[in-house]
Amino acid sequence: MPGYRSGLMSLRSVLVGLGCLLVVAGFGVGLLVSREKDELVISVTMSSPRPPALERVDDLAARVPPGRHVVLRARPDGRVLATVAAQTEFGSPQTFAVAFRKGDWIGVRSPSLGNRQVGWVRAKPLRLVRRPLLLDVDLSERQLVVRDRHGIERRISVAIGAPDTPTPVGRFFVTDKLRGADFGSYYGCCILALSGRQPHLPRGWSGGDRLAIHGSPTPTWGHAVSNGCLHASEPDLRYLMRTVPLGTPVHIHA
């Protein structure tokens, strides 16, 4: 390759007398320059591109475009775990919380997966949006804390799961914001549906297994009395409905 050879020879005036390793990372090319018997020796090595690093993500959500379906995989280019539509089962825009990023793939949480499962999808067809808030739920304190990057925005007293139906711990997110009246007076004014599921349902329960933050007919906040959901007062629920966008992460811990 005459052009490539002439390009290397043009380095001679710069590199004569030096013994060094020049690495051009973007091209994966290594030039090893040394002297052998008063001659300049240049060895060219081609290195394979570095694999993309796995990054943890805390402030991004991914929305499925209208009319599209996306496939969630066990790993990038791995086996299919689920196929998800552009709307949730409650009719909201399908908005995942992003947990990881690796190259052009993102690892997302979804109600279609288990409480601890992450599904991988290519980022390109999705709309990535910032989520500046975090809902941090301390079960021992029976408190929900709304945090942003600057600190605590609001503390909310909540009811948690009873001893026989404890609230699951884990990392979830807000999937839907719904009117409580559409589902029954028991739920109060508002429901923030979460991606998590309750594995410890009471016998005979027919209300589904999705976790949520919602109201209660009586003031239960501060007590361990629910079937796993979090109960909050109406003023706090209306604040959450105004403030918290879909895809906001929810960290529930003991």
Q: Any idea where the domains of the chain sit in the sequence?
A: 2-46, 54-130, 134-253
Pick the CATH number of 54-130 from 3.90.950.20, 1.20.1250.20, 2.30.30.40, 2.30.30.60: 2.30.30.40
What backbone phi and psi angles, to 5 degrees, belong to 209?
-115, 10
What stretches of 10-150 adopt beta strand conformation (E)? Answer: 20-24, 29-36, 39-46, 54-56, 60-63, 70-73, 80-84, 95-102, 105-109, 119-122, 127-130, 134-138, 143-148
Closest by Cα among 208, 2, 41 to 111: 208
Ranges 23-32, 174-183, 202-211: which has the least confidence: 23-32
Q: What is the pLDDT of residues 206-234, one digit of tens each?
A: 888 999 999 999 999 999 999 999 999 99
Average pLDDT, the chain: 86
Contact between residue 119 and residue 79 where contact means Cβ atoms under 8 Å apart: no
Contact between residue 147 and residue 134 where contact means Cβ atoms under 8 Å apart: yes
Look at 130 and 49; give whichever has higher pLDDT.
130
Contact between residue 146 and residue 135 where contact means Cβ atoms under 8 Å apart: yes
Ranges 35-44, 161-170, 220-229: which has the least confidence: 35-44
Whether pLDDT at 186 is above 60: yes
Q: Mean per-residue pLDDT for 84-105? A: 97
Closest by Cα among 163, 170, 180, 168 to 225: 163
The pLDDT value recorded for residue 48 is 60
Contact between residue 135 and residue 145 where contact means Cβ atoms under 8 Å apart: yes
Give the Cβ contact number of residue 99 at 10 Å: 19
pLDDT band at 79 (very low <50, low <70, confident <90, very high): very high
The pLDDT value recorded for residue 47 is 56
Ranges 14-18, 124-128, 232-236: which has the least confidence: 14-18
Whether pLDDT at 15 is above 90: no
Distance CA 243, CA 245 (A): 7
pLDDT band at 35 (very low <50, low <70, confident <90, very high): low
Would you state the structure tokens that stand for residue 239, as one six-digit string? 């604040």
Contact between residue 95 and residue 246 where contact means Cβ atoms under 8 Å apart: yes
Where helices occur in the chain by DSSP H, the ranges are: 2-9, 12-15, 234-243
Using CA atoms, how far residue 135 sits from 79, 94, 204, in Å, is 32, 19, 31
Q: How is domain 134-253 classified at the CATH fold level? A: L,D-transpeptidase catalytic domain-like (2.40.440)
Contact between residue 212 and residue 193 where contact means Cβ atoms under 8 Å apart: yes
Provide the residue type at 243 as one letter.
T
User: Radius of gyration of the chain from Cα atoms?
Assistant: 27
The owner of tokens 């990372």 is 25
Distance CA 120, CA 16 (A): 50
What backbone phi and psi angles, to 5 degrees, belong to 7?
-65, -40
